[in-house]
Structure 1
Amino acid sequence: MAQGESPRLDWLISVDDHVLEPPGVWQDRIPAKLRDRAPRLVTTGDREYWEYDGKQVESSGLSAAAGRSKEQFSPKPLTYAEMRPGCYDAVARVADMDQAGILASLCFPSFTRFCGQVFWEADDKDLALLCVRAYNDWMIEEWCGAAPGRYIPMTLIPLWDPHEAAREMERCAGMGSRAFALSENPEPLGLPTVHDASGYWDPVMRAADDTGMVVCMHVGSSSTMPQISSGSSVLANMSWGGIRPAGAMLEWLFSPYLQELPNLRIALSEGGVGWMPYFLERAEQIVDKQRHWASAGEGVELYGKVVSESRAIDLHNLDLRATFRDHIFGCFIEDNHAMRSLAEIGEDNVMVETDYPHSDSTWPNSIKVARDQMAHLPESTQYKLLRGNAERLFRFQPADR
């Protein structure tokens, strides 16, 4: 938006949507001698599923709900023929985006899961690396290339090899990728945490700092669903899901990375933002009261187990609010509480998303739903939430509309 120009509020940039990978993503790119072991879409009888590494993965109806009413939502599998074409076709998606006032979109994968967990779990890591590269090439060249200026390229990394991951990040950044997907909590996947004493993730974080690629962590990318109790309702557990992005935010605020790497930015995708003021306030209270013994390296016994900081951070000079403002971005679909408490969060750290084609999506009414939530805010603030913050964070210039 040029200085002195009235903000256009008829379009938004969604920083969290999803693509159901079309059948040719891997079959068109993996060497012929390996294609029978690469991911492939299989139809047999009335079943359709992705086959890879001994697994058969069907597409959930909740992941391809676009065009269906709430009454029609179902987790039962859907075939591609039953899906709206915008779920898997980049050109058809743009038409759906136009209908909903979505100027540009950043898309997470589906079959691979949100940060490529299926490749981390695979036995043949050489083939898995080829599959990661094939997905990235397809995302940048074909999905995003089908409509320049309408898609923000986000790519995957080989989670099992941080040095190779850094090389892949540099390669993808050179091709135009603006972000990469990482788990909100790697530990449930069997990977080291961001506090790993040996610095497992150091090459990845240095590459992100060097390239400017945003670390995007989608809720559920730990392959876990929080469970309140063994008998709790699925819907109760889904409602409680905000504890995952809250935990991710706190993990990063108390990790050394955000103190050491000035260009590192993280986005908590589909995590909401209304919870942020409370956890920021609570973290400040904890630092104020507990920083002295914690800085001395003393452990504390919690329920029979002694725990201490695994990687030291400078608690005496840790400014949590400044760290948050400089490094952490929240994303929301529908979050009226957050819009009422935006001053506590910061208007520069919040972005809108539409979650197309999932059952949580606001499509096809995305721009209306977004603007209704923020109607009480100044137009300059609305512009930031709708698109300005996303353009700045992802260094992205959308197509003119």
Structure 2
Amino acid sequence: MSTTNGSNGNYNLDWLVSVDDHILEPPNLWLDRVPKKDQDRAPRLVKDDNGTDVWLYDGKRMPSSGLSAVAGKTKEEFSPEPLNYDEMRPGCYDPLARVEDMNRAGILASLSFPTVTRFCGQLFYEASDRDFGFTCLQAYNDWHLEEWAGAAPGRFIPLILIPLWDPKLAAKEMERCAAKGATTFAFSENPEPLGLPTIHDKDGYWDPVMAAANDLQMVVSMHVGSSSTVPQISKDAPFMANLAWGATRTSGAMLTWLFSNYLQRYPNLKISLSEGEIGWMPYFLERAEQVLDKQRYWVQRGAKWGNHAGTDVDLDKLDIRETFRNHIFGCFIDDVHGLASIDEIGEDNIMCETDYPHSDSTWPDCITVVKNRISHFSPELQFKLLRGNAQNLYRFTPAEPPVLTNA
């Protein structure tokens, strides 16, 4: 492996840090960690009548989508049909096998979202017994910290779940996990479709969570789809059209945070938008500035229009660009337009992702794809995009890059 010399030092540009990958939970995760008397109601893997692996929990039967575990398959082999664990690449669910796959693709460290719990733990929020749901949630967090991230120190940025139904309890869980090394938690891009208050709730539903995030410097990580919704252009729009339109969810998340008061109240609060790409950011930042310039005065006067209910943001102090650059971070898999607009987005606000083992992933060519896109930048900027920004945001020190030998 080579080291590239930059004007301000040496930058190893052969490795990246991915801030969006995924775990297919191992079948014994909860059975190993909940009390024995509760094992028959914990999330567990069973076979259905057709011999298909199905997760069973709280009366729900949940097969694994084949699109969630395509690593090692060709595009021609992709399928949404259920996939059994013995048909998956071991790196989908085994941390040491994952490290081997990371080494192959130039991935030095990875932040991985859950699967069966859904991206921000909706499974436990929807549980009929939330007390036991919290037991299962804590079991997941402990497993992630101890057995996933703990299996290969310096190779995994630990990501925890919070009990969405109890913000005060969530703050306590954040404190508990921060003491064990967690620096980020999963949150919803839009809690409203889940039946939860939005971040603009007049009663401050999320205040305990955001205050804890600010004090603990825990990044709010929001994965696309964590609202349990899929954008739909029309009722009969093709799946591929809707999927290509999916960045609308992430742009909506960015805008709602820019115009919330949380980023004014909490200077340490950082928002990471996972798997949303970045090419759309310059347009929506520009549009947000236009809206602020033209509409701020009647909003400040308290004039009513439709369902508009005013704002609790200090519009006189709101600077869209400054707020974005101080608080909001995006990531890309392969986004030519976004990288061409890096001066507008900000070189400190962009990170890499590989989406392993999902169908959008560039694995096993991850580092090659990114380097081909950013090779015209200075070594210092390349290092920021590959690793530096992620390491700074998540306060994460990765392991030394392994020395690889050719077979």
TM-score (norm 2): 0.96
**Amino acid paired to 1:392:** N
Match of 1:100 in 2: 105
Partner of 2:343, secondary structure, is: helix
Opposite residue 236 of structure 2, the aligned amino acid is: G
Question: TM-score with structure 1 length normalisation?
Answer: 0.97
Q: What residue identity is the alignment partner of 2:243?
A: M
1:199 corresponds to: 204
Structure 1 residues 45-84: aligned runs within 5 Å: 45-84=50-89
2:121 corresponds in structure 1 to 116
Q: Give 3-state SS (helix, strand or coil) of 1:175's partner.
A: coil
Q: Structure 1: state its 5+ residue gaps.
A: none
Q: Does 1:13 align with 2:17?
A: yes
2:83 counterpart letter in structure 1: L
Q: Deviations over 1:211-240 (max 9, x none)?
A: 111000000000110000111110000000
2:17 partner SS: strand
Q: Which residue of 1 aligns with 2:157?
A: 152
Partners in 2 of 1:23 and 1:289 — Cα distance?
55
SS at match of 1:315: coil
Q: 1:2 to 1:210 in 2, by over 3 A?
A: farther
Alignment of 1:314-333 (within 5 A): 314-333=314-333
* Matched residue, 2:373: 373
Instruction: Provide the C-alpha distance between the structure 2 equivalents of 1:129 and 1:41, rounded to a whole number of angstroms.
Output: 19
The Cα offsets for residues 324-377 of structure 1, whole Å up to 9 and x where unpaired, read as 000000011110001111111000000000000001001000000011111221
Change (3 A) 1:199 1:2: farther
SS in 2 for 1:26: coil
Instruction: Tell me whether 1:308 sits opposite 2:296 in the alignment.
Output: no
Asked whether 1:342 is paired with 2:339, we answer no
Moved more, 258-267 or 292-301: 292-301
Alignment of 1:31-50 (within 5 A): 31-44=35-48, 45-50=50-55
Query: Which whole-Å CA distance do the structure 1 matches of 2:182 and 2:303 have between them?
Result: 42
Matched AA of 2:314: D
Aligned residue for 2:10, secondary structure, equals coil
Gaps of 5+ in 2: 402-407
Percent of aligned pairs with the same amino acid: 62
Q: 1:355 — aligned with what?
A: 355
Once residues 189 and 64 of structure 2 are traced to their aligned partners in structure 1, the CA distance between those partners, rounded to angstroms, is 22
Q: Which residue of 1 aligns with 2:236?
A: 231
Q: Retained in 1: the 8 A contact 2:26–2:94? A: yes
**Segments of 4+ in structure 1 off by > 6 A?**
none
132-141 or 26-35, larger mean C-alpha shift? 26-35
Mapped to 2, the partners of 1:272 and 1:138 lie a distance apart of 29
**2:6–2:378 Cα contact (<8 Å) kept:** no
Cα distance in 2 for partners of 1:334, 1:300 equals 40
Q: Which residue of 2 aligns with 1:215?
A: 220
Shift of 1:297: 2.2
Q: For 1:113, what is the secondary structure of its paired residue?
A: coil
Render the CA deviation track for 1:277-297: whole Å, top value 9, x for unaligned: 000000001111111111122
Q: In 2, Cα distance between the equivalents of 1:297 and 1:32?
A: 58
CA distance in 2, matches of 1:382, 1:294: 42
Alignment of 1:117-196 (within 5 A): 117-196=122-201
Secondary structure in 2 matching 1:112? coil
2:405 matched residue in structure 1: none
CA–CA separation in structure 2 for the residues paired with 1:92 and 1:121: 32
Output one character per residue of 1:230-285: Cα deviation in whole Å (capped at 9) or x when no partner.
11110000000000000000000000000000000010000001100000000001
The aligned residue for residue 404 of structure 2 is none
Q: Distance in 2 between matches of 1:296 and 1:177?
A: 43
- Contact 2:119–2:223 (8 Å) recurs in 1: yes
Alignment partners' CA distance in 2, 1:153 and 1:388? 17
The 8 Å contact of residues 11 and 379 in structure 2, kept in 1 or not, is answered as yes
**In structure 2, distance between residues paired with 1:164 and 1:299:** 37
Q: Distance in 1 between matches of 2:102 and 2:247?
A: 27
Deviation at 1:3, TM superposition (A): 8.9
Partners of 1:298 and 1:35 lie apart in 2 by 56
1:174-226: CA deviations, max 9, x gaps?
00011000000000010000000000000000000011110000000001100
Aligned-pair RMSD on alpha carbons?
1.2
Give 1:248's aligned amino acid: A
Q: Which amino acid aligns with 1:367?
A: I
